[in-house]
Amino acid sequence: MAAATATATAAEEEARLLRLEEQAEHGGGGAWEYLSLARRLRARRPAPVLRLGLALLNDASARSRLAAEQWTLYEQVAVAAMDCQRLDVAKDCIGVLSKQFPGSVRVARLEALLFEAKGDWADAERAYALILETNPFDQIVHKRKIAIAKAQGDMSLAVDYLNKYLELFMADHDAWRELAEIYVSLQMYKQAAFCYEELILAQPTIPLYHLAYAEVLYTLGGLENLQTAKKYYASTIQLTGGKNTRALFGVCLCSSAISQLTKGRNKEEDSSELQSLAAEALLKAYKQHASSKEALVAGMLKNMKLS
């Protein structure tokens, strides 16, 4: 649990999660499978997790079949209940856990999380400080302190904490991602671009980071940034096998913006093939999936002089 081991979700597993959710919600069984998959994919789906998890926990025979796994389920349901603001259920779950594991740090973290869900920031801070006393390098607790600052709306404090945290734990890409998202929300795009560069270095095969980086660069503007953005949109297209509509649109927008900027200078038209291919792929995708909107897209592309 400690270091960030989260992997991105492949298309197939995402679809499987939704299918299992549908099946379990309609009483088709597979609830435990769904809960395990949700935990593994770190999906945030509190309402179904709370409903299905409670159903499992309230069924004594199902619970005994889970054996030692049931404590993980208690934890999962407790967090889901907090996310649904069912603090009574969360409190009951944490009570069961603390009876089973007295003095456990993991349960102490859950108790502090309950303070957070209630909005008792001072109590939560105190509880986290207590955990940090015994284990000053508890990554999750450090992250929770950042989250408290964020929940109180104090973004600059959260950025401060995150920067301090990242000086200690540079390999934590979840934290880099969080910092990038906070910077984007504060419209500090240069800093966000730096974070996305770190993320691309750490996990070069995840196309979504390339896409986010390209978008930040496109937002920054300027000829050089636009050209780099176009390259990253192109790498997103390569990594997704051309299935990412956003990246296709990005290539088209970048090239139209570049051609507007370099209108007078009549620069070399080196990558005109890329944008026309992207436009073609876009039109084809719209024809296949939303034929009613195809005319709109064709008109827009014509306005950008791409097709």
Among candidate residues 204, 149, 207, 205, the one with its CA nearest the CA of residue 178: 149
CA dihedral 237, 239, 244, 247 (to 10 degrees): -40
The only residue of 20, 24, 31, 41 in contact with other proteins, by rule CB under 8 A: 41
| DSSP secondary structure string for all residues of 208-255 | HHHHHHHHHHHHH-SHHHHHHHHHHHHHHHHHHTT--HHHHHHHHHHH
The only residue of 20, 31, 43, 127 in contact with other proteins, by rule CB under 8 A: 43
Q: Exposed, middle or buried by CB within 10 Å (0-12, 13-18, 19+), for 242? A: middle
The only residue of 183, 207, 213, 254 in contact with other proteins, by rule CB under 8 A: 207
Residue 57 touching other proteins (CB under 8 A): yes
Please choose, out of 11-19, 185-193, 223-231, 267-275, the segment that lies near other proteins by the rule CB under 8 A.
11-19
Closer CB to other proteins, 15 or 129, in the complex: 15
Q: Who contacts 50 (Cβ-Cβ below 8 Å, separation ≥6)?
A: 77, 80, 81, 83, 84, 86, 89
Instruction: Print the binding letters for residues 72-111 with other proteins: x by CB under 8 A, - otherwise.
Output: -----x-x--xxxxx-xx--xx-xx---------------
Closer CB to other proteins, 153 or 299, in the complex: 153
The only residue of 24, 46, 124, 228 in contact with other proteins, by rule CB under 8 A: 46
Please choose, out of 36-44, 121-129, 184-192, 254-262, the segment that lies near other proteins by the rule CB under 8 A.
36-44
Q: How far is CA 42 from CA 31, 105, 160, in A?
A: 16, 21, 26
Residue 291 is given by DSSP the state G
Residue 178 touching other proteins (CB under 8 A): yes
- 243: its two tokens: 């299935």
Closer CB to other proteins, 118 or 298, in the complex: 118
Q: Which residues bind other proteins (CB under 8 A)?
A: 4, 6-12, 14-15, 41-44, 46-47, 50-51, 54, 57-58, 77, 79, 82-86, 88-89, 92-93, 95-96, 116-117, 139-140, 143-144, 146-147, 150-151, 174-175, 177-178, 205-208, 238-243
